Amino acid sequence: MPLVGKAYSATGAAWQAGPGRVYDRLAEVLVDLSPVPLRDRRVLDVGAGTGAASRAIRRVGGRPIACDVAVGMLAVDRRRRPPAIAADVRRLPVASRSCGALVAAFSFNHVPDPHRALAEAARVVVPGGAVLASSYATDDDHPAKAAVDRAAREAGWVPEPWVDELRQRAMPKLATPAAAVAAAKRAGLRAEASVIEAEFPDLQAADLLAWRLGMAAVAPFVASLSDEGRRRLSARALDLIGEPEVLVRRMVVLRARL
């Protein structure tokens, strides 16, 4: 398993308890942008994590199958989740033309060669089906990110090497509509892409803190702290966050119809 998969596996339930609130809504926005109706289609949710897109697919009447490299993410809430496959998005153990659609919510931007993941998507989806993928836009930022990172560093957190590698070698490849369309083209897919904004006016400072502390880069470190250490880290981060501005996520949404 790649290091990023190990970190997500160790994150598991912490993801759903914090980032889950943000990502569940982003998955609904993504699925609603499908270029074909997903009702009654078998839809592969790749990089499924704790099931944000699977739930969104079910909500519109689709039949999800989850796939992720991190077994610890697939294991969360397993009894209520769809069937799952432990696999890399670039090597899907799935027959060609066997899915009605494929959704990748913030997973293709975790590999340095997203054209390979997109080529796999094109292979497994039937003609008339769809590929939908979201990734972080270059200007997707919020002051809570730097605030929590700073508090975590002060508490002794040292980011693992995969975090920088992800930010420098993988994420930029899908961080603009032009880059995403180019990666799709390289995979033989004719796609369109645009930046979509989603606002979270209901999230308070404590919710923003939970969002950041549940991210895979830092969640295993947070889990290693004592109760007192976690309390001190949270208090310091809340102090740095202060009165937060409304969270607005900006994602690149790539859509292709086969």
Ligand X SMILES: C[S@@+](CC[C@H](N)C(=O)[O-])C[C@H]1O[C@@H](n2cnc3c(N)ncnc32)[C@H](O)[C@@H]1O
Looking at beta carbons only, is 69 or 241 nearer to ligand X? Answer: 69
If one asks whether residue 183 binds ligand X (CB under 6 A), the answer comes out as: no
Binding to ligand X in span 90-149, by CB under 6 A? 105-107, 110-111
C-alpha closest to that of 200 among 139, 140, 134, 137: 140
If one asks whether residue 184 binds ligand X (CB under 6 A), the answer comes out as: no
Q: Measured from the CB of residue 64, what is the shortest distance to ligand X in angstroms?
A: 11
Q: Give the CA diameter of the chain.
A: 55
Paired with 247 in beta bridges are 200
Looking at beta carbons only, is 16 or 234 nearer to ligand X? Answer: 16
Do residues 8 and 72 touch, judged by C-beta distance below 8 A? yes
Q: Measured from the CB of residue 232, what is the shortest distance to ligand X in angstroms?
A: 27
Minimal CB distance to ligand X: which residue?
49
Q: Which of 12, 28, 44, 49 binds ligand X (CB under 6 A)?
A: 49
Q: CA of 171: how far to CAs of 12, 174, 233, 244, in Å?
A: 22, 6, 28, 26
Q: Site mask, ligand X, residues 63-92, x = CB under 6 A?
A: -----xxx--x--------------xx---
**CA–CA dist 58, 255 (Å, integer):** 19
Q: What angle do CA 164, 167, 171 make, to 5 degrees?
A: 155
**CA–CA dist 47, 5 (Å, integer):** 10
CA quadruple 83, 25, 186, 65: dihedral, nearest 10: 10
Looking at beta carbons only, is 29 or 229 nearer to ligand X? Answer: 29
Q: Measured from the CB of residue 146, what is the shortest distance to ligand X in angstroms?
A: 19
Q: Measured from the CB of residue 113, what is the shortest distance to ligand X in angstroms?
A: 10
Residue range at the interface with ligand X (CB under 6 A); choices 42-50, 143-151, 173-181, 195-203: 42-50
Looking at beta carbons only, is 41 or 55 nearer to ligand X? Answer: 55
Output b/e per residue, 172-183; b: 16+ Cβ within 10 A.
Answer: ebbbbbebbbbb
Binding to ligand X in span 11-40, by CB under 6 A? 23, 27
Residue range at the interface with ligand X (CB under 6 A); choices 47-55, 56-64, 123-131, 187-195: 47-55
Do residues 97 and 103 touch, judged by C-beta distance below 8 A? no
Residues engaged in binding ligand X (CB under 6 A): 4-5, 8, 23, 27, 47-49, 52-53, 68-70, 73, 88-89, 105-107, 110-111
